[in-house]
A and B are shown apart, each in its own frame.
Chain A
Amino acid sequence: MQIPGVTGRQILARLLMLAAGLAAVASPARAQLRLDITEGVQDAVPVAVVPFGGQSEGGATDVAAVVAGDLRQSGRFAPLDRQDMVTRPTSGGEIRFEDWRLLKADYIVVGSVDGGGTAISFELFNVQTGQQLLAQRIPASGQNLRSVAHHISDLVFERLTGMPGAFSTRIAYVSVEGKPPSQHYRIVVADADGFNPHTVADSGDPLMSPAWSPDGQSLAYVSFETKASAIYVQRLATGERRRVSARAGINGAPAYSPDGTRLAVTLSRDGNLDIYVLELASQVLTRITSDDAIDTEAAWTPDGKALYFTSDRAGSAQVYRVNLADTSEVQRISYTNGYNARPRVSPDGTALAMVTLDRGYRIALMDLKTRNLRLLTNGRQDESPSFAPNGAVIIYASEDRGPGSLAMVSSDGRYQERLSSDRGDVREPAWSPYPPR
């Protein structure tokens, strides 16, 4: 078991690639996730993101390409093909709006990397009216051009949709290499677009169920490194790790409370799985469910007052809800199909994403007011849904084409794409909260 956080070698490799100007095109040290758009939407808003000035073509981090990729990944925008851009304005004064109206762009983003990469300026315009919607200059350095580009995507997305962007966030996932019965397991954290993957834990025994702390600083996860399951909490910046539950039997399905002080966990006594809440500072354990069935996969409501979870107390896996103030009352939530599991609550608390069995294991979204269940995906083995912190997109794992890949679907189901790995099997994505502002 190694916990490298980020190894010196990885940092060196990345610096070398930046120096060689390859970061945007070449694979970093670890297997890189690659984005394939599988199903677009008809009414995505066309937007032109013109290559930024002060950057040589094919050079280091292509800011406009990162912004265009982010906007495309949101499912709400259709960036124009670069080849179709007749002119390449880099500031508002250079834009001839009639050109862009002909290209049917609704909006245009222009900008430049200034002072040899010490700042990025950008502007956003409405092409129809010529109105300037945004104009900012953001300090930068060579190392963080990508993160500044994601920040620009966030600003543009929020200005045009009224919803905060989630492009400066990260995803954690489990990566598995090798063939059964000898496989190697990693927990990886990468940018939300799949770039900059870092191994945070690494084992010849299974690793599973990564879960973010609400401050985005730590991951809780399950490791079998001692030939038994245990739950660990690891700080990402330092790699420092604490074993928080290694009780006899199962220690699984960790989920942080919204205030970050507690973990909902699944423990077993004589094979019977129940949900408990573990106070992290005091290690005080409170039992939440007591039933002969499997109770697991707890997810907190945003107010921290209730849990949704999976239970087969009625014979097959279904989703239930329990209020922490009165755990004697457990309410069944799902009825539509014979198998509903692994609930995740939307950030606004109005919907549940879950796995449902409907001709295949698929991701579905339940409106908590109407209890109406809508199928979002059409795979054979889709699982582990996780909401982007703005609720607009759900990332999940899919095994449709051989080894596991990650996929995204917009919460309205109209847009899908895949993040596939060059090697091995990727699974159990968990989308981080917003970074602290």
Chain B
Amino acid sequence: MKLTHALALVVLSLGVAACTKPTQTKPVEQASMAPADGATTSGIDQGAAPSGASTLTPQQQALAQLRTKNIVYFDYDSSEIPQEYLAVVSANAAYLVKYPTAHSRLEGSTDERGSREYNIGLGERRAQVVRRALMAQGVADAQITTVSYGEERPAVEGHDEAAYAQNRRVEFVYAQ
């Protein structure tokens, strides 16, 4: 476990180093959470809407807050987590560390370009990068499963870069 942990850290830092200079001082909570025109897809099932009369448990409230932080978007042909989505990973990692019985399914996806089974591979690679990043922040392996849908489950329709940008993603899905 320790070895895997260390390895995950190396992988993560390599990934980060490759896309930006290693200045990680920016407070991650301020980062933007979605592409310009905003994705509406929610990986969290209905029923956790925060309401005035708080009948929700603290865990449910914490989960509800993750609803706007449940998707990491990727650049074209890349499986590096972009700087602005490190906050999404951290928020989900914090939740999973705080609630060790919680479980997240990471669903990796690509845009429609290229061949389908190869895109299954790219989606899996993205899901695994997010999985390792979570583990590097202390999440237990058993709390995570991954699935790659490749280009088979697009979030939005369309054949332009705006649509592609919303389809290249890893979604955190929590069972309730």
Contact = CB atoms under 8 A, between A and B. Distances in A.
Interface in A141-170: none
Nearest to A185: B152
A62 interface: no
A310 B121 CA distance: 11
Given A179-B157, A180-B156, A271 B125 contact: yes
Contact of B127 (A208, A271, A380, A381): A271
Contact residues of B: prevailing secondary structure: mixed
A229 interface: yes
B105 A181 contact: no
Contacts of A317: 114-115, 118
Contact of B146 (A181, A183, A209, A271): A271
Contacts of A342: 115-118
Interface stretch (A16-24, A91-99, A247-255, A321-329): A247-255
Interface string A396-434: 000100000000000000000000000000011000000
Tier of interface size on chain A: 35 or more
A202 interface: no
A84 to B, nearest CB: 41
A250 B114 contact: no
B149 A206 contact: yes
B66 to A, nearest CB: 18
Interface string A295-327: 011000000000000101000010000000000
B128 interface: yes
Contact of B117 (A227, A228, A297, A380): A297
16 contacts: A180-B154, A208-B117, A229-B148, A249-B146, A250-B120, A250-B124, A253-B117, A266-B117, A268-B121, A270-B128, A271-B124, A297-B117, A312-B118, A355-B114, A361-B115, A381-B159
Interface in B149-176: 149, 152-157, 159
B116 A294 contact: no
Contacts of B147: 224, 227-229
Contacts of A206: 149, 152-153
Nearest to A227: B147
Contacts of A357: 114
A206 to B, nearest CB: 4
Interface of B: 41, 105, 112-118, 120-122, 124-125, 127-129, 131, 145-149, 152-157, 159
A191 interface: no
B115 A294 contact: no
Contacts of B122: 294
Given A181-B41, A183-B153, A361 B118 contact: no
Interface string A180-210: 1101000000000000000000000010110
A297 B118 contact: yes
B128 A381 contact: no
Contacts of B121: 250, 266, 268, 273, 294, 296, 312
Query: What are the 7 tightest A-B residue pairs by CB atom distance, in nearest-first order?
Result: A271-B128, A294-B121, A206-B152, A342-B115, A341-B115, A253-B117, A180-B154
Contact of A180 (B105, B114, B116, B153): B153
Given A250-B124, A271-B124, A273-B124, A384 B153 contact: no
Contacts of A180: 153-157
Interface in A13-37: none
A405 B113 CA distance: 16
A310 B115 CA distance: 10
